[in-house]
Amino acid sequence: MIFIKLFLVFSYIGLFNFGGGYAMLSFIEQEVVAKQVWISEAEFTDIVAISQMTPGPIGINCATYVGYTAVVNDPFIQSIGAPQFFGILGSILATISVVWLPFLVMIWISHIIIKHKDHKVTRSIFAILRPAIIGLLAAAAISLMNIENFGHPSTQTNQFILSIIICMTVFCGVFWRKWNIIYTTLICGIIGIIAYGLIGI
């Protein structure tokens, strides 16, 4: 039965995924495309693209979409009919399955941290961890400064220049003037529509 398998596979993916969203994508690919053959490579590529460009955690987006598609593709479900309805159930099940075990782990750790937060060992651990976390954030920001996000400097010069302007302006606005992040993102989307969609630079 596809639902039991979905639950088991996504619980397994959730518990053993240690590398964040992008690591989870390759984990899902191995389990769902290569081992279980629930969805095709091409379907998975589309799912990854959509997971990246829609809001929300990438791993959750991908799990939700794969859960839906896997159920809709299932021959047994197709023979019953109403695949979309079962697909919705599949997406909810995949999402909950990927989340519930890490949730229990996290609650257990949170409990320990809150209880022992003033202990010298806890403090020392975080005294080293905090600077390391800054490094993680810096690496994420640096690795996203790429051609896909900014455009190519020589072949897509206009996009590249506009991207640099947007990036610098948003940085200064949020850093010094405390701009609202949601509105800032929406306005940048509107700028994109005007510049690339309407004017076509």
Residue ranges in 132-191 that form contacts with another protein under rule CB under 8 A: 132-145, 148-151, 159, 162-164, 166-171, 174-175, 181-182, 184-185, 188-191
> What CA dihedral angle connects 170, 174, 177 and 181, to 10 degrees?
100
- 151: phi then psi, degrees, rounded to nearest 5: 85, 160
SS3 of residue 82 by DSSP: coil
- 55: phi then psi, degrees, rounded to nearest 5: -65, 160
- Which CB atom, from 41 or from 118, has the smaller least distance to another protein? 118
Single residue of 8, 19, 80, 115 touching another protein by CB under 8 A: 19
- Which CB atom, from 4 or from 137, has the smaller least distance to another protein? 137
Q: Identify which of 46, 40, 51 has the alpha carbon closest to the alpha carbon of residue 94.
A: 51
- Work out the angle at residue 137's Cα, subtended by the Cα atoms of residues 136 and 139, and round it to the nearest 5 degrees: 65
Single residue of 26, 40, 124, 157 touching another protein by CB under 8 A: 124
Using rule CB under 8 A, residue 17 touches another protein: yes
Using rule CB under 8 A, residue 80 touches another protein: no
Using rule CB under 8 A, residue 11 touches another protein: no
Site size toward another protein (CB under 8 A) is 104
Single residue of 79, 82, 121, 177 touching another protein by CB under 8 A: 121
Give the list of residues 6+ apart from residue 86 with CB closer than 8 angstroms, or none: 71, 72, 77, 80
Min dist. Cβ of residue 88 to another protein (A): 6
Using rule CB under 8 A, residue 125 touches another protein: yes
List C-alpha distances in Å: 110 to 103, 114, 116, 117, 160: 10, 6, 10, 10, 43
- Which CB atom, from 81 or from 131, has the smaller least distance to another protein? 131
Min dist. Cβ of residue 6 to another protein (A): 15
Give the list of residues 6+ apart from residue 39 with CB closer than 8 angstroms, or none: 32, 33, 47, 66, 69, 70, 73
Restricted to residues 45-74, the positions that interact with another protein (CB under 8 A) are 46, 49-61, 64-65, 68-69
Min dist. Cβ of residue 157 to another protein (A): 14
